[in-house]
């Protein structure tokens, strides 16, 4: 498969531009690369004071970085307090993610637990950390989920399950939080051309056993979907457009093709949908 290059202009701002702020604070978790990076930069360019929380710092001069490991509860809580400095968070965007290509029958429980620490519990901890102050002033929360939470990513059961859990979390919290003028959205990108493709934990043939060939086919198909998909800058633009709405939707699907597939699943019988899903991953 071919890696798709991101063509967004990344011209560095001047020192004077760095000082422009609308007084609002945005936390972007996982803002050092991919969708998170472009979301952080776009928010900074619209006047937010943006803090990135991740193990790797964001290299954009408009974005302040605080080191954090989302899989470690105390590290994350400490980082959020450092980022807030006693202020209420106006916008929280959770972009951290981990993917695991492996047959479920042979997937180590420790790998599944780590995936959920990154994809699910990290989001839970961030939301709970910002809510006390956000309930006083209102705010917006975006969880970067995946179309894979609705249409399964074959040979990546834990990933799909974690993203489905994020979608349900957003739906339930929309009921709890709206009285406090807090709006939460689960954003569903489809395949997106980022380094995430190449950071995926893929089990070896020996670890996959009789599923080895299937894992290879499914992983290759997924990589082609991702690297032939949307640019992260375009996904970030849609995320920011959601944040600009007075009352954002609870579930938002990025891109017209992804919207088509998302709504198609509501029309097709389950068996037909799963058959087509298997074909997408060459299984």
Which positions are annotated as active-site residues?
A: 159
Query: Does the pLDDT value for residue 17 go beyond 50?
Result: no
Q: So what's the pLDDT on residue 1?
A: 35
Q: So what's the pLDDT on residue 21?
A: 58
Query: Does the pLDDT value for residue 99 go beyond 80?
Result: yes
Give pLDDT tens digits for 41-81.
999 999 999 999 999 999 999 999 999 999 999 999 999 99
Beta bridge partners of 124: none
Q: So what's the pLDDT on residue 23?
A: 86
Q: So what's the pLDDT on residue 3?
A: 38
Phi-psi domain of 252 (left: phi exceeds 0; alpha: psi -120 through 50; beta: other): beta
Question: What integer is the mean pLDDT of 181-204?
Answer: 96
Query: Does the pLDDT value for residue 282 go beyond 60?
Result: yes
Count of CA atoms in the C-beta half-sphere (13 A) of 209: 6
* Residue 50 vs residues 12, 31, 81, 142: alpha-carbon distances, Å: 16, 10, 14, 14
Question: What integer is the mean pLDDT of 89-109?
Answer: 97
Question: What integer is the mean pLDDT of 157-167?
Answer: 97
């Amino acid at each position: 498969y071919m890696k798709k290059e991101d063509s967004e202009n990344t011209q560095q701002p001047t020192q004077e531009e760095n000082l422009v702020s609308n007084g609002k604070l945005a936390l972007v978790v996982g803002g050092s690369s991919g969708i998170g990076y472009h979301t952080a930069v776009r928010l900074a360019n619209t006047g937010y004071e943006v803090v990135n929380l991740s193990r790797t710092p964001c290299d954009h001069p408009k974005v302040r970085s605080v080191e954090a490991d989302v899989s470690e509860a105390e590290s994350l809580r400490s980082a959020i307090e450092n980022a807030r400095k006693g202020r209420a968070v106006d916008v929280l965007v959770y972009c951290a993610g981990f993917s695991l290509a492996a047959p479920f029958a042979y997937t180590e429980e420790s790998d599944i637990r780590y995936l959920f620490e990154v994809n699910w519990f990290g989001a839970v901890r961030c939301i709970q950390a910002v809510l006390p102050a956000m309930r006083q002033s209102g705010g917006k929360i975006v969880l970067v989920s995946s179309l894979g939470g609705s249409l399964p990513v074959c040979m990546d059961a834990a990933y799909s399950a974690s993203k489905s859990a994020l979608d349900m979390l957003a739906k339930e919290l929309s009921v709890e939080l709206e009285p406090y003028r807090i709006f939460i959205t689960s954003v569903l990108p489809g395949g997106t051309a980022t380094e995430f493709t190449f950071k995926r934990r893929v089990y070896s043939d020996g670890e996959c056993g009789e599923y080895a060939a299937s894992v290879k086919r499914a992983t290759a198909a997924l990589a082609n979907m991702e690297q032939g998909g949307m640019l992260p800058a375009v996904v970030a633009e849609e995320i920011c457009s959601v944040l600009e709405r007075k009352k954002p939707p609870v579930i938002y699907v990025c891109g017209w093709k992804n919207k088509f597939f998302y709504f198609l699943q509501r029309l097709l019988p389950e068996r037909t949908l799963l058959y087509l899903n298997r074909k997408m991953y060459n299984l």
